[in-house]
Amino acid sequence: MPALHVLLYGSRGSGKSSLVKGLLAAYQERGLRLVEVGKAELIELPSIIEKLRASALKFIIFVDDLSFEEDNDGFKALKVVLEGGVTAKASNVVVYATSNRRHLVREWTEERPRPGEQGEVHAWDTFQEKLSFSDRFGLTLTFQPANQETYLKIVHHLAEEAQISLSDAELTQRACQWAVRYNGRSGRTARQFIDFLQAELAPTSPSF
């Protein structure tokens, strides 16, 4: 069946990349493969897709932390893949990209067209082209920052899996302190906190 290209954007540490990578574990036995392409290699996307086109497998081209400067060659290559070029779209390949930015092409306040200023005649069209790039993904998933309730649910779930031997009250208090001191409330912060606790509470080796 046809599938959509997907843009996952939102706050850092909210699990965007983990969600994409989790698809491989869930669907690998059904022929899904994940090909990670760095931003510096996006210019090679058309040739990569041509190599994958003939395969019987299904592929997700995964681009993590996507954003562009103006006139970036990778931007042009990805645009061709998302919109389709002279050759037909590969039916077994989709692009999943993550970003902290809703608008993937960086734009500046001074670029906004102002009546009476000298410059590009159709400057507004160029400005809209930048803003609309993310619309070329068929599906956009937004990841909101975690509130304290969600953050603590994640912490307690991970603590239970790791068999952390702290009371609920102490775990909650220390988790809140950790979020304030470090990276805020997110799934990533919760994971780092539990990793820290595991190391802190691990039995020490006997001395000889």
Question: What residues form DSSP beta bridges with 109?
Answer: none
- Residue 196 backbone class (left: φ over 0; alpha: ψ -120 to 50; beta: rest): alpha
Higher pLDDT, 62 or 132: 62
Cβ pair 123, 151 in contact under 8 A: no
Of the candidates 191, 198, 152, 149, the one whose C-alpha atom is nearest the C-alpha of residue 171 is: 152
| 164-181 confidence digits (pLDDT tens) | 989 999 999 999 999 999
Cβ pair 193, 18 in contact under 8 A: no
| 95-105 confidence digits (pLDDT tens) | 998 887 655 55
Q: Is the pLDDT of residue 159 over 50?
A: yes
The rounded mean pLDDT for the chain is 80
**Confidence grade of residue 108 (pLDDT, cut at 50, 70, 90):** very low
